[in-house]
Amino acid sequence: MDFLNERRTGILFPVFSLPSPYGIGTLGPDAFTFLDKLKEAGQTYWQILPTGPTGYGDSPYQSDSTFAGNPYFIAPELLRETGLLKNGELKENEWGSDPSRADYGLLYKKRALLLEKAFRRFEPDSAYKDFVDAESHWLDGYASYMNRKEGKSEDYTRFVQYEFYSQWHALKNYANRLGIRIIGDIPIYVSQDSADMEKDRDLFQLDEDGKPSAIAGCPPDAFAAKGQLWGNPLYNWDYHEETGFSWWIGRMKHCFEMYDIVRVDHFRGFDEYYSIPYGAADASLGEWKKGPGMKLFRALKIALGEKPVIAEDLGYLTDSVRRLVKDSGYPGMKVLEFAFDSREAGDYLPDTWPENCVAYTGTHDNQTLKSWVGELTPEDQRSAAIYLHRTVKELLSGDYVYDFIRLTMNSAANTVIIPMQDYMRLSSEARINKPATMGGNWTCRFTKELFTDKVWEEIPVITKESRRERR
């Protein structure tokens, strides 16, 4: 199959949102069930969010390692099947009173206790030793980092990563056998508090004391009056170029061993990146500086060959960013919700979308369709209604979620990804993240009751109608 170049569709759904009795979605039975349902519904893709350990603000985009997997995603019941946990041990902990929310504080306190019990029963075998040897280029540094940061023994950290990757590859292999391809997601930057920064400081713009001389973010706009202060260290692109972009080549090689397709967040940062002085109170004092551009992507293609990449090119785009996306050949992104938001400078109307793009009703950073329409200004509601050849009253009184999904699915875009919560007609409680805010993000979970027959019956109908079913 020619990924992203054929008329196909899939669903955006984070691993942490999967149903599970253990406080957060895991790589266990419910993930396999979800894949079965995707196949039955004629879907080709499952897009997830970054799978690394969550850091500041519980964000998957602020991980303490570019390469490590999230221990919370390890399925306890699969450890029981291999004899590393006992049935009573799975039941002795409460994982939160609200099954619709992940309680990261509780997970932090209790999940490691469960994994430590499994670790004490674990006996290394040849598969484990092969994993440790093959991944030593990042695993050794990460184990040392976790020992210093949290007092975890290095062998324990290696065990946890082995179990994560064993379960992950079992799930991915199952998906691929069903004809489902996994779209992974990687942040452009790494966290300041990370094994990556600790291991090789030359990769980043640091001062003599080892602190960032500048940090990442984005400038003020209509959505954030003072901009966004992400706090990530910026790359020393001169050093990356001098080393043949070897770190990026290793990073992307690892990603393509995990995922079938990789979505790269904040793609415009490769053209120009927003540099904010370290210690600034907000992002208003930043300035744009030149990134590596096509030099990086030429190096990646020489080293890894042609790989399927999605360029997250949302937001304010300059001509040079558009040229970089075009020159790379990677499909960019189109978001339906931006089409009727007068604050958006770009043209996101569906009739303007090219074939070489990945279209969404919304992403993890957007409001659900159900609530989005009600939050539009009267003028924007009118624009949306006119586009659908309706009055505002007709729009709001009908199943406008279906109308906008159908509009997206019937577009020219080769690839369409729909968030699961839109198919479920969920409101703002199912929003994954609200940018530039702290608290309440990345916690949304979906109980089994939400996966109704009605939901799963509608998806293949609209998929076939839009000629996107797997053949």
Query: In 3D, which of 142, 137, 136 has the Cα closest to residue 157?
Result: 142
**What's the CA gap between 71 and 290, in Å, rounded?**
36
Cβ-proximal residues to 364 (8 Å cutoff; 6+ apart), any chain: 12, 14, 49, 419, 432, 433
**What's the CA gap between 197 and 232, in Å, rounded?**
10
**Phi, psi of 185, rounded to the nearest 5 degrees:** -140, 130
Active site residues: 265, 312, 365
Cβ burial, residue 432 (10 Å; 0-12/13-18/19+): buried
**What's the CA gap between 21 and 87, in Å, rounded?**
13
Give me 383's structure tokens: 């624009």
**What's the CA gap between 310 and 332, in Å, rounded?**
6
The answer to whether 42 and 460 are in contact (CB under 8 A) is: yes
> What sign results for the dihedral spanned by CA atoms 301, 416, 45, 266?
positive
Residue 314's identity, in one-letter code, is L
**What's the CA gap between 19 and 346, in Å, rounded?**
37
